[in-house]
A and B are shown apart, each in its own frame.
Chain A
Amino acid sequence: MTAKAQSNPTDFIINTGNRTKIGESILKLTMILCSLVAVGVTIGIVLSLVVEAIEFFKKIPITEFLFSTEWSPQTALRTDQVAAEGKFGVIPLFTGTLLISAIAMVVATPLGLASAIFLAEYASKRSRDVIKPMLEILAGIPTVVYGFFAALTVAPFIRWTGSSVGLEVASESALAAGLVMGIMIVPLISSLSDDVINAVPQAMRDASMGLGATQAETIRQVILPAAIPGIAGSLLLAASRAIGETMIVVMAAGLAANLTANPLDAVTTITAQIVALLTGDQEFDSAKTLSAFALGLLLFMATLLLNYFSLRIVKKYREQYD
């Protein structure tokens, strides 16, 4: 009796143990595979962009793509047509993207920083709890809504204001797209900078105030210099968001590839051109379609660099005071 009774529970334990072990290994393997999906996505992005871009550079030399100043990717009506391939110089798109992003940053940086300083240093906890989520609504509104608003309300308003003071304003001006985009990225700057400012140790504030500085002087001369790296990180992140933003520029900035620095002119951006190239009829091997992937690669690399540096700056800064 004893022998049997003893062997049963042990068997039971060993059996479940084995079963659990196998089950656990399968589960662990699944989890590892799942975490590799994210890596796979990055590899997929790089591969698909690079492969198609190489195809494109076989048709159009990379030097022409990077350094030529004319962008007009027409498709040929006949194959023997002169200049059948169109012109693929990325510089006007690049300057257009920079112009709109710069306008957006000029709008968003003061608004975002002033909001962040107010929220972190002046606002009571209660008003902070109300204002911060309200500002973040701005980041949650779909960009197609901003695009609609920019194209139908802001652009005509700027045009009207311009004409009443005698300025010629394009109906799809860089200014309209940039202004609206700037408002969109305000919460990106304000939230991150707010966190960074809050991370500055209280002792530094107390010391400065103890020496008789006013609160504004403390912020300007002690807190902000200490928080500058983190703030720079948040600005870089916002800039990367502005460069990659698509719908606002598609709807409000138009497709005219002008090489200009005048915010009242129409410009186009990398993202707007990708959309224009890939919506509508397309043959997959034409230089026109493939050029969208070369533009995508350029965009991906630019935003990746900005993100990488901003994350590193923010991380490095945080470690200083922890």
Chain B
Amino acid sequence: MTSTNTSFLKGQAHLTKRHRAETRFQMMGRFAIALSLAFLIFMVGSIFWQGKSALQTHQIALKLDLSAKNVDPADIRSARFDAIIKAALRETFPDATKRAEKRKLYGLVSTDAGFELRNQIEEDPSILGGTQIIWVSASDDVDIFSKGQIDRHVPESDRRLDDQQIGWIDNLAENGAIKSVFNTKFFTNGDSREPELAGILSALVGSALSLSVCFLLSFPIGILSAVYLEEFAPKNRWSDIIEININNLAAVPSIVFGLLGLSIFLSTFGLPRSSPLVGGMVLSLMTLPTIIIASRASLRAVPPSIREAALGMGASPVQATFHHVAPLALPGMFTGAIVGMARALGDTAPLLMIGMVAFIVDVPKSFLEPATALPVQIFLWADAPERAFLEKTSAAIIVLLLFLVLMNIAAIILRKKYELRF
């Protein structure tokens, strides 16, 4: 009696243990998912946190002498705008007397300030002829100091700004001569050595040009080969080889496509280095397998009855495919193409191989001009030593992620709206 009782108790204990193991096992799964998602949220969150300040930039108000002595209203461009700004700075802060101090003082405003002043005068010549208060861009150091990213308690030698400069900035801030404005230059400028002038426009245009080449090449080729492989190809060794080949190609590291582009497109064909044309061609080779695989899946989802009905009405196999089957599969093909393009937009390594890593200030105007792409710009800025490029890099990543989100939303909407239900 006692023995059965203890064995029952033992069984009970064993069962409790087994149930605990069950809970533990299930918790492991939850924990793994939570950890992965937490990493995702932390990474994207921290990049957003670092990047949002790049949307703001600071300007400094200067009392500029724009009388005829400095600027000739008849010939505005001949004026020395930098000198006017420097004079105004010297007047505001007369304590800068030595040459080194003056240089530090001039460093408060952006190197672009003279150019900005000229543009403002050309836009509104009526401000000429007297002393005017004009807002010009601050330098990157002043900008990030005003955003609180330079700690004034750090020893002077470890700081980008010394005590005297901080004194000047505090003085300006007390007098309301520093203001925060929306950073339009980030969206309208190309790359620059000066962080306060650097923008993503040339990289965005470069990406857009490359992606359009990529789409124009890979989409038609991709869907035609998908249609052939799915609808017409005889089931033999050759079509097997093509199929295995496409699956393997989809998993080849992207940098290898870059090597192909370098050796064949650049060295053999002599196409222009760094151009969006070559970039797009390399990206299209990478996108091709994705589009083919997605398009084939989408063709397979069209029920055979459609095909048979068309054939039964006397359509030729080509007519049945192109008039009836392919149109039904087209939304799925587009979805595949968008997903492929999203991958191509984010890919960096192959573009480095074909030299799209250049320092590009001007917005590329054709497919043959040197250009860079958004992810490559991120890579370049991530390497830049200036503290102010950190927020630019993060902001460029935000823009890149936004485009990816938009493309994926487009793909989801297409899929939901036109999903085949038979």
Contacts and interface: CB of A to CB of B under 8 A. Distances in A.
Interface of A: 20, 24, 27-28, 30-32, 34-39, 41-42, 44-45, 48-49, 51-52, 110-115, 117-119, 122, 131, 134-135, 137-138, 140-149, 151-153, 183, 186-187, 214-217, 219-220, 237, 240-241, 243-247, 250-251, 271, 274-275, 278-279, 284, 292-293, 296, 299-300, 303-304, 307-308, 311
Contacts of B220: 34
A224 to B, nearest CB: 11
Contact of A271 (B28, B253, B343, B401): B253
B18 interface: yes
Interface stretch (B19-27, B70-78, B93-101, B121-129): B19-27
A303 B252 CA distance: 7
Interface on chain B toward A: helix, strand, loop, or mixed SS? helix
Given A118-B26, A247-B348, A241 B251 contact: yes
A110 B28 CA distance: 9
B228 interface: yes
27 contacts: A38-B242, A45-B252, A45-B256, A51-B263, A110-B32, A119-B29, A141-B346, A142-B346, A144-B378, A147-B382, A148-B47, A148-B394, A149-B43, A183-B40, A241-B251, A245-B253, A246-B255, A246-B348, A247-B348, A247-B349, A251-B379, A271-B255, A274-B259, A279-B352, A284-B267, A300-B252, A311-B244
A151 B224 contact: no
Contacts of A142: 345-348, 375, 400, 404
B303 to A, nearest CB: 20
Interface string B295-320: 00000000000000000000010110
A122 B35 CA distance: 17
Nearest to A214: B22
Interface stretch (B146-154, B285-293, B327-335): B285-293
B228 A31 contact: yes
B30 interface: yes
B221 interface: yes
Interface string B204-232: 00000000000000001110110111001
Interface in B1-48: 18-19, 21-22, 24-26, 28-33, 35-37, 39-40, 43-44, 46-47
A55 to B, nearest CB: 11
B306 to A, nearest CB: 19
A292 B258 CA distance: 11
Interface residues of B, number: 85
A217 B253 CA distance: 39
Contacts of A293: 259, 263
Contacts of A217: 18, 21-22
Nearest to B262: A278
Contacts of B46: 149, 153
A27 B251 contact: no
B281 to A, nearest CB: 11
B199 to A, nearest CB: 18
B275 interface: no
A219 B25 CA distance: 10
B29 A114 contact: yes
B26 A35 contact: no
Nearest to B255: A246
Contacts of A27: 318, 322
A299 B255 contact: yes
B36 A34 contact: no
Nearest to A25: B318
Contacts of A131: 33, 37
B253 A145 contact: no
A187 B40 CA distance: 12
Contacts of B253: 241, 243-246, 271, 299-300, 303
B171 interface: no
Contact of B288 (A38, A113, A115, A278): A38
B247 interface: yes
A304 B252 contact: yes
A187 B254 CA distance: 19
Contacts of A112: 32
B288 A39 contact: no
B262 to A, nearest CB: 7
A271 B256 CA distance: 9
Nearest 8 CB-CB pairings of A with B = A244-B253, A118-B29, A142-B346, A114-B32, A35-B225, A31-B228, A216-B25, A48-B263
Given A31-B228, A111-B35, 19 more contacts: A28-B318, A30-B224, A34-B225, A35-B225, A36-B242, A37-B225, A38-B289, A44-B264, A48-B264, A131-B37, A138-B40, A146-B43, A152-B390, A183-B39, A216-B26, A244-B256, A247-B348, A279-B355, A292-B259
B249 interface: yes
Contact of B255 (A34, A237, A274): A274
Given A144-B375, A279-B352, A38 B260 contact: no
Contact of B36 (A39, A51, A138, A241): A138
